[in-house]
Amino acid sequence: MTALRSRNLILGAGITLLMAAVALVSLAWTPYAPTAIDIVHKLAAPSLAHPFGTDHLGRDVLSMIMAGASSSLSVALIAVVVGAGLGVPLGAFAAARGGWIDDVVMRACDLAFAFPALLTAVMITALAGPGAGNAMLAIGIFNIPVFARITRGAARSIWAREFVMAARTAGRGDVAITVLHVLPNIAAVLLVQATIQFALAIVADAGLSYVGLGTQPPNPSWGRMLNDAQTYIWRAPLLAVFPGVAITLSVLGLNLLGDGLQDWLDPRLRRGR
Amino acid sequence: MTFYLLRRVAILLATLLAASIVVFVVLQVLPGDPAALILGTGAREDTLAALRHQLGLDAPMWLRYARWLGGLLSGDFGTSFTYHVPVAELVRQRVLVSLPLALFAILLSTAIAIPVGVAAAARRGGAADAGLMGVAQIGVALPNFWLGLLLILLFAVRLPWLPASGFPGWDAGLWAGFRALILPALALALPQAAILARVTRAAVIDTLGEDFVRTARAKGLSRPAALWRHAVPNALIPVVTLIGLQFSFLLAGTVIIENVFTLPGLGRLVFQAIAQRDLIVVQDLVVLLAGSVIVVNFLVDLAAAWIDPRLRRAGA
Amino acid sequence: MMLRVEDLTVALPMRGQLVPVLAGVSFTLDRRDSVGLVGESGSGKSMTALAIMGLLPPGARVAGRVMLDGRDLLALPEPDLCGVRGRRIGMVFQEPMTALNPLMSIGAQVAEPLRLHLRLSRAEADARAARMLDRVGLDPARISPHRYPHQLSGGQRQRVVIAAALACGPDLLVADEPTTALDVTVQAQVLALLADLAAETGMGLLLITHDLGVVSQTVANVLVMYAGRVVEQGPTDSVFGGMAHPYTRALFAARPAESGARPVQIPGQVPDPLHRPPGCAFAPRCSRAEPDCGQQAPTLAGGGPHRAACLHPHAAS
């Protein structure tokens, strides 16, 4: 079982690092410019010159996948940062104060969960204007209640422990205790959750760009590529495969990383309870 | 039990009311003047003002909310700016696509996930467990709209068995309608089934370690009988809760899946209404979808209480 | 002769290796007879019960024989064993709070083995379950069989577990620490109930406990276990009359006192099965240990039914 755990961790970290590396490299170099149109060689099958073939405008699919990695990962990353940046303080605040403040924050989270996240993200991006920036915000908003809830739950169990009681008796304020004692002790839980939310954000971003609300052309995005591929699915079915594999692989890597981290940190998480 | 039910219903109604307020306020705050959208950019200010008055948009916010809510409760959802038909009529047509699709997907997902999860738990640590969970790990990572494309590629392009897109309507016959929903339902169901199977497995493994399973074995129940009669029912609470949560994912999923398969459902309607700034339609649909999520979660709570007598206490 | 356990030996997989947790346990138990297994936790007494029931954890290696009326249960295929459990041998567990299924009414849990083994209809099984609950002291008029475990106290739940174990009228009841988790006043009631039921039905009783006081009042024969081996066994009167093994004496001194005197803790701990000392496993904690105790493991010695496994036993007083 130990072998399996570390296998998840290593495989997950490996895939995630690979995708991150592809995203970074694409900023400096791609085989072709991902936006370079070459109508003569459109819908070409994979070859040495174009390992993944070309799309309906003759753009190099490998280059687009690489550039798509950087846009997809950055949208997802910022969405998670937005969600955690607002959700963690909110949850920590609710846990520290308790009482009616806690009740109100948690009821608000319950209410937020009633709105299907992707549906509302579609609504927000469509009304506020399509684009990568609004996609980050729309996805990020729905990470807030997720982080608030998990932070609050984990933080409350820390608040109940002796060393926090001791710090309180010693006259430390809520903010100091939260920063010095609570957050360091729940960091592991939050890290695991962030990995899961990162994966969900990648899928959400791909979904938004698929329906044309995420990253805007000519900037490549995996979702947009899938949408284009659907039009040509009878002539060039492979075009529908590569972007999907890229999304699935990224999500799989992050999920494995999350599972691996969870198991690796488990003894510590258990002691935290 | 009666008190438990009353309490639950009160919470349900309060949540529904809160959701309607949130939807209303958010849509007021977001940019977009319906009158300007209807009349176009060249409209004169006094014509715009007249239309706003006619649509009741110049009334104070609380009054407009009260009118809208009153309409919703009496079945008058307002009139679409773009379709020029009552929203209730639009919803009635579309719900006949989306609801069967969502139910079909939930049934498929549950029917696949529970046997797989239980089988993996019963053989935990073995090759079958590792194999099933490996497949589930990949299934969880599959975005449903890409899975939809792959299914089209496989069952409509390579093997011409099923339609690639579109919906003939139930008038074309039950089978014709059902056929059009098979691929979208699979695309929605399989990733959810993978998640559900993993949760089912974990929950069953937890309960298999419980003392009462050993008691059941000591009473003479075979391993499978102890598993299905004692361990599985006790593992159902988290599973049923997750099925309820998945309903929300599924509704959101239909927004994209109905686009992949060009199905005339609620998801596509809400998408088009957003694109055309048909705000009353958006407002109605979002509150309907959120309302159905709230109601489904209420039903899940009731189901959990039906399964577990400990949850029937009023305080729970 | 009904139950005859011969040279029962069990090894469990731990950290990739098979570790012996039970070695050479032998005893017999007749109808209308009772045997007590005593020892600290980790002594192997629960493992003995699970081995008899065929409910050892997966991967366990078992040797020896568990003969029930001439059939070796260890050699019996699983479907036949299911016909023995709950029908010929009933079992009661330590934790009444968790031994019952929280989702099933107590009546249904008592009726379950009746429907399974005796093929009774639902109505017949329910009626008999209600009588059984009444017999163990849960009057159906006061405590409905439709109640759920969480609505009952610990003692009441243990009565339900006993009713379910005895529903099919087994020839043998295995009770693994049946009173440990209960309040002191309830402990005596449950023990008295078990003794009553055993006397009334004529079933054999295998009582597992860490409490020598319980044993001395309830059973006819006693086996004292330490680190997976029997260190002293014999008729209860004889063993208590002349405790030969230093461990038995230490355990006796450490029993919960009724008079309020402080029990004497046995110094040290039961050795971890992965690191058993050579020779007598009790030697490191024994006040009478001599150098030879660390070299050879003593075997049960003594002519009569009362025997002890000790190189330097206390003389019979």
**What are the CA-CA distances from residue C2 to residues A85, B167, B185, C277 (Å)?**
71, 73, 61, 36
User: Which other chains touch chain A, taking contact as 3+ CB pairs less than 8 Å apart?
Assistant: B
- Chain B residue numbers with beta carbons less than 8 Å from the beta carbon of C95 are 211
Q: Using CB atoms, pick whichever of A113, A199, A207 lies closest to residue B145.
A: A207
- Chain C residue numbers with beta carbons less than 8 Å from the beta carbon of B222 are 78-79, 82
Please state the domain count of chain B: 2
Chain B closest-CA separation from residue C165 CA (Å): 7
Over residues A107-130, the mean pLDDT reads 84
Helices (H), A98-241: 99-113, 117-128, 132-141, 143-159, 162-169, 174-177, 183-210, 222-231
**Tens of pLDDT, residues C168-206:** 999 999 999 888 888 888 888 888 899 999 999 999 999
Kindly state the tokens that stand for B300: 């899940």
Please choose, from the candidates B264, B244, B265, B257, the residue with its C-alpha nearest in 3D space to the C-alpha of residue B196: B244
> Are B169 and B235 members of one domain?
yes
CA of B218: which chain C residue's CA is closest? C85
Q: Using CB atoms, pick whichever of A116, A124, A211 lies closest to residue B259.
A: A211
Last residue of one domain, picked from the residues B17, B48, B74: B74
Does B have 3 or more CB contacts under 8 Å with A?
Answer: yes
Q: Using CB atoms, pick whichever of C55, C112, C148 lies closest to residue B214.
A: C55
Q: Three-state SS for C65?
A: strand
**What are the CA-CA distances from residue C220 to residues B170, B197, C32 (Å)?**
78, 52, 10
**What are the CA-CA distances from residue C143 to residues C107, C122, C176, C269 (Å)?**
10, 20, 25, 43
Q: Using CB atoms, pick whichever of A122, A199, A233 lies closest to residue B274.
A: A122
Q: Are the beta carbons of A128 and B31 separated by less than 8 Å?
A: yes
**Tens of pLDDT, residues A1-24:** 455 557 888 999 999 999 999 999
Which of C46, C112, C120 best probes binding to B when mutated, by most B CB atoms within 10 angstroms?
Answer: C112
Confidence of residue A83 (pLDDT cuts 50, 70, 90): very high
Q: Using CB atoms, pick whichever of B143, B152, B293 lies closest to residue A114.
A: B293
Chain C closest-CA separation from residue B138 CA (Å): 30
Please choose, from the candidates C70, C33, C72, C25, the residue with its C-alpha nearest in 3D space to the C-alpha of residue C49: C25
What number of helices (H) and strands (E) belong to chain B? 13, 0
What type of residue sits at position A250? S
Which pLDDT does position A267 carry in this prediction? 56
> Are B183 and B204 members of one domain?
yes
For tokens 């493992």, the residue is C47
> Are B27 and B134 members of one domain?
no
Contact B138, A245 (CB under 8 A): no
**What are the CA-CA distances from residue B104 to residues A226, B182, B267 (Å)?**
25, 8, 16
Does C275 map to a domain?
Answer: no
- Chain C residue numbers with beta carbons less than 8 Å from the beta carbon of B221 are 82, 86, 112, 116
Q: Using CB atoms, pick whichever of B215, B218, B309 lies closest to residue C150.
A: B309
Kindly state the tokens that stand for B172: 């074309």
Does B79 map to a domain?
Answer: no
Rounded-to-integer distance, Cα B198 and Cα C239, Å: 55
Contact C150, B310 (CB under 8 A): yes
- Run of H or E residues at C11: strand C3-14
Name every residue in A having a CB less than 8 A away from some CB of B: 1, 110-111, 113-120, 122-124, 126-128, 199, 203, 206-207, 210-211, 226, 229-230, 233-234, 237, 240-241, 243-244, 247-249, 251-252, 255-256
Rounded-to-integer distance, Cα B273 and Cα B271, Å: 5
Q: Using CB atoms, pick whichever of B141, B153, B271 lies closest to residue A252.
A: B141
Contact C66, C3 (CB under 8 A): yes
Q: Are the beta carbons of B141 and A110 separated by less than 8 Å?
A: no
Please state the domain count of chain A: 1
Does A47 map to a domain?
Answer: no
Contact B78, B280 (CB under 8 A): yes
Q: Are the beta carbons of B30 and A127 separated by less than 8 Å?
A: yes
Please state the domain count of chain C: 1
- Chain C residue numbers with beta carbons less than 8 Å from the beta carbon of B215 are 91, 93, 99-101, 161, 164
Last residue of one domain, picked from the residues B74, B100, B131: B74
Q: Using CB atoms, pick whichever of B218, B222, B233 lies closest to residue C103.
A: B233
Task: Give the ipTM.
Answer: 0.89
Contact C5, C174 (CB under 8 A): no
Per-residue pLDDT for chain B (316 aa), expressed as one digit of tens each?
A: 677 788 888 888 998 999 899 888 888 776 667 777 777 777 788 888 887 787 777 788 888 899 889 988 888 888 887 888 899 998 998 999 999 999 999 999 999 999 999 999 999 888 999 999 999 999 999 999 999 999 998 998 888 888 888 888 888 888 888 899 999 999 999 999 999 999 999 999 999 989 999 999 999 999 999 999 999 999 998 899 889 888 877 877 788 899 899 999 988 888 888 888 788 888 898 888 888 888 988 898 888 888 888 887 644 4
Last residue of one domain, picked from the residues B39, B74, B109: B74
Which of B1, B123, B215, B240 best probes binding to C when mutated, by most C CB atoms within 10 angstroms?
Answer: B215
Which of B205, B212, B306 best probes binding to C when mutated, by most C CB atoms within 10 angstroms?
Answer: B212
Which pLDDT does position C260 carry in this prediction? 52
Q: Are the beta carbons of C85 and B219 separated by less than 8 Å?
A: yes
For tokens 């176009």, the residue is B40
**Tens of pLDDT, residues A160-211:** 888 888 888 888 888 888 888 888 889 988 999 999 999 999 999 999 999 8
**Tens of pLDDT, residues C246-284:** 888 888 887 765 555 555 677 777 777 777 778 888 888
User: Which other chains touch chain B, taking contact as 3+ CB pairs less than 8 Å apart?
Assistant: A, C
Does C215 map to a domain?
Answer: yes
CATH number where C11 lies: 3.40.50.300
Contact A156, A191 (CB under 8 A): no
Does A126 map to a domain?
Answer: yes
pLDDT above 70 coverage of chain A, percent: 95
Does C242 map to a domain?
Answer: no
Rounded-to-integer distance, Cα A161 and Cα A98, Å: 15
Q: Are the beta carbons of B234 and C103 separated by less than 8 Å?
A: yes
Cα dihedral C253/C256/C260/C261 (nearest 10) = 20
- Run of H or E residues at C189: helix C184-201
> Are B149 and B172 members of one domain?
yes
**Contact B153/A at CB under 8 A:** yes
For tokens 């909310």, the residue is B65
Does A265 map to a domain?
Answer: yes
> Are B227 and B263 members of one domain?
yes
What type of residue sits at position B119? A
CATH number where B220 lies: 1.10.3720.10
Does C292 map to a domain?
Answer: no
For tokens 């995996």, the residue is A222
Name every residue in C having a CB less than 8 A away from some CB of B: 53, 55, 78-79, 82-87, 90-91, 93, 95, 98-104, 112-113, 116-117, 148, 150, 161, 164-165
**Tens of pLDDT, residues C75-127:** 999 999 999 999 999 999 888 889 999 999 999 999 999 999 999 999 999 99
Q: Three-state SS for C37?
A: strand
Which pLDDT does position B316 carry in this prediction? 40
Q: Are the beta carbons of C83 and B220 separated by less than 8 Å?
A: yes
Does A124 map to a domain?
Answer: yes
Which pLDDT does position A5 carry in this prediction? 58
Please choose, from the candidates B205, B184, B14, the residue with its C-alpha nearest in 3D space to the C-alpha of residue B103: B184
> Are B26 and B167 members of one domain?
no
Q: Using CB atoms, pick whichever of B216, B221, B234 lies closest to residue C102.
A: B234
What type of residue sits at position B95? V
| Domain, as residue range, for B211 | 87-315
Buried b (16+ CB within 10 A) or exposed e, B116-133: bbbbbbbebeeeebeebb
Chain B closest-CA separation from residue C308 CA (Å): 32
Q: Using CB atoms, pick whichever of C82, C101, C116 lies closest to residue B230.
A: C101
Does C92 map to a domain?
Answer: yes
Does B80 map to a domain?
Answer: no
Does C have 3 or more CB contacts under 8 Å with B?
Answer: yes
Buried b (16+ CB within 10 A) or exposed e, C126-142: bbbbbebbbbbbbeeee
CATH number where A130 lies: 1.10.3720.10
Q: Are the beta carbons of A128 and B140 separated by less than 8 Å?
A: no
| Domain, as residue range, for C29 | 3-219
Which pLDDT does position C153 carry in this prediction? 92
> Are B68 and B139 members of one domain?
no
Does B81 map to a domain?
Answer: no
Contact B308, C103 (CB under 8 A): yes
Rounded-to-integer distance, Cα A186 and Cα A154, Å: 6
Does B137 map to a domain?
Answer: yes
Contact A207, A129 (CB under 8 A): no
For tokens 């990572």, the residue is B141
Q: Three-state SS for B78?
A: coil
Does C83 map to a domain?
Answer: yes
Rounded-to-integer distance, Cα B105 and Cα B295, Å: 18
Q: Are the beta carbons of B211 and C87 separated by less than 8 Å?
A: no
Please choose, from the candidates C282, C268, C188, C208, the residue with its C-alpha nearest in 3D space to the C-alpha of residue C39: C208
Confidence of residue A88 (pLDDT cuts 50, 70, 90): very high
**β-strand partners of C10:** C22, C62
